[in-house]
Chains A and B, each alone.
Chain A
């Protein structure tokens, strides 16, 4: 399967614990995005990477959240001191842009990592 893969698919944790999600984008894609989706809502943008550079962070991304893409390939999203309000589906997406121009405008999403904070 050459799509976007996310791990773990499900995570249940207790309030106050730290969690980390991993995203492996489509191999040739240089753009990577994290979104958060709560029940009954559309995905909300969290952050964006162009290769290894994090170019935008949403105000939704509090200081407890940190994302990295150290070698411009896979990415991690860490949530420290989790709160019940962090319970959501965390979606990763990737796309390809050549010379700064998006190829088709299409984002390819993974199946998400569902977080439940007790």
Chain B
């Protein structure tokens, strides 16, 4: 019940394409859904996050779509660039907790020039 399922495991797109990464959860007590970006040899860094009272959040080229009834959320990267090549993790946080992140397994994105 505390799992976050992420797909696909890997993704290859051409520059300018729109990669989409999907996540699903079961526990309705999750109330904060961040996406983290990780480059090789680095720790994860927060990219964008959403709370379940909104259906979409956009920051620059990154958009989260959230479907509360389906318990699914996704990350869209508009006009993807080679510099976006990284591993992306969705995560979920339980309400009333202390920011304990439950991560998905990650999606390795490669953006080819």
Q: Which residues of B contact A44 (CB under 8 A)?
A: 103
Complex Cα spacing A48 to B94, Å: 14
A-B contact pairs, 18 of them (CB 8 A): A4-B43, A40-B106, A42-B89, A42-B91, A42-B103, A42-B105, A45-B101, A48-B98, A50-B98, A91-B43, A93-B43, A105-B34, A105-B93, A107-B99, A109-B36, A109-B44, A110-B43, A112-B43
**A12 interfacial contact with B, CB 8 Å:** no
A: residues with CB less than 8 A from B are: 4, 31, 33, 35, 40-45, 48, 50, 55-56, 91, 93, 95, 97, 102, 105-107, 109-112
Further contacts, 4 of them, CB under 8 A, given A42-B89, A42-B103, A45-B100: A31-B98, A45-B101, A91-B44, A106-B49
Complex Cα spacing A93 to B82, Å: 27
The secondary structure that dominates the A interface is strand
Q: Which residue of A lies closest to B51 (CB)?
A: A105
Instruction: Verify B98–A55 contact, CB threshold 8 A.
Output: yes
Interface residues contributed by chain B, number (CB under 8 Å)? 24
Instruction: Verify A111–B105 contact, CB threshold 8 A.
Output: no
Q: Which residues of A contact B89 (CB under 8 A)?
A: 42-43
Partner pick for B106 among A4, A41, A111, CB 8 A cutoff:
A41
Q: A43-B101, A102-B98 are in contact. Are A109 and B106 (CB under 8 A)?
A: no
